[in-house]
Chains A and B, each alone.
Chain A
């Protein structure tokens, strides 16, 4: 697998090459898109790794199928992939009849340990608490917050993925962050935010 997935060709150009039978394009797209879709799905599915992998594989499978009919210039490949992954995650959440896997209360307390180990545990505890707090958010708020603050997308990109207006994205992310803040506030001390101020 010597092909450089970070080459200069755009995702859209790689789609055309893939549809024309270029095996390097298949590999490049796999390497570029799969990790992003997996990370996104894992965050939407509250860290359920197995389900996130299923979503990532299914999203990519649909990408391969649509490649011969891909229309250049209409949609970015990543936008399309995030949109499909979002819908697959929603379907899975509905199918299993629950929105969250990890209860906020399940986040581990920071254990007494040596300073270094305590720091790592505290960081892990914070991540787990954030994951649990994200799981508490309504679906659309969670999608918007994850796309904006964890996937690093711009509001117009998020608007394209969620098929809503930019103002609606801004509203969703703002409300999502307020809800996250409220959900985490009860654990401020346990997560170390009162003791070390802005320590990260």
Chain B
């Protein structure tokens, strides 16, 4: 540094004073900047309501309470099959199942237990 140069302290003090001197934006500038901001701002994403839900009828609610359509179908099928089993005679069943045995004899030697004398 030359002898005629400013002292570092003086320069630092000058820079510090300049740094603390505010450069205030005018209201007009702030308004212009804000107007730009709002003009360019993406629109907020909107949440659209779904279609209105209608109240289900009594039968639909009963069906839902016991498990819905698939369960009802299974119940119906079982009921019909049960009725068929009860209605049809054993002969018809044999025909359906292809069985040729009239009756199964599980204890052939136990007749003496039920025979008198």
Q: Which residues of A contact B (CB under 8 A)?
A: 18-23, 26-27, 29-31, 34-35, 38-39, 42-43, 52-53, 56-57, 60-61, 64-65, 67-68, 123, 126-127, 130, 145, 149-152, 177-178, 180-182, 184-186, 188, 193, 198, 200
Q: Across the interface, do A57 and B29 meet the contact criterion of CB distance under 8 Å?
A: yes
Q: Across the interface, do A26 and B34 meet the contact criterion of CB distance under 8 Å?
A: yes
Q: Across the interface, do B32 and A193 meet the contact criterion of CB distance under 8 Å?
A: no
Would you give the shortest CB distance from B1 to chain A, in whole angstroms?
7
Query: Can you list 30 pairs linking A and B with CB atoms under 8 Å apart?
Result: A20-B42, A21-B43, A23-B38, A26-B41, A27-B37, A35-B23, A35-B24, A43-B23, A53-B29, A56-B25, A57-B29, A60-B33, A127-B21, A130-B18, A149-B15, A149-B18, A150-B15, A150-B18, A177-B8, A177-B11, A178-B1, A178-B5, A181-B1, A181-B5, A181-B8, A182-B5, A185-B6, A188-B6, A188-B10, A198-B10
Q: Across the interface, do A31 and B4 meet the contact criterion of CB distance under 8 Å?
A: no
Q: Across the interface, do B37 and A18 meet the contact criterion of CB distance under 8 Å?
A: yes
Given A21-B43, A21-B45, A126-B14, CB of A34 within 8 Å of CB of B5 = no
Neighbour of B36 across the interface among A31, A42, A57, A178, CB < 8 A? A57
Q: Which residues of B contact A (CB under 8 A)?
A: 1-2, 4-19, 21-26, 29-30, 32-34, 36-38, 40-45
Q: Across the interface, do B6 and A20 meet the contact criterion of CB distance under 8 Å?
A: no
B8 neighbours in A (Cβ, 8 Å): 177, 181
Given A35-B23, A152-B19, CB of A64 within 8 Å of CB of B29 = no
Give the number of A-B contacts (CB < 8 Å): 121
A151 neighbours in B (Cβ, 8 Å): 19
Q: Across the interface, do A181 and B11 meet the contact criterion of CB distance under 8 Å?
A: yes
Neighbour of B30 across the interface among A20, A31, A130, A178, CB < 8 A? A31
B16 neighbours in A (Cβ, 8 Å): 149, 200
Given A35-B24, A200-B17, CB of A64 within 8 Å of CB of B34 = no
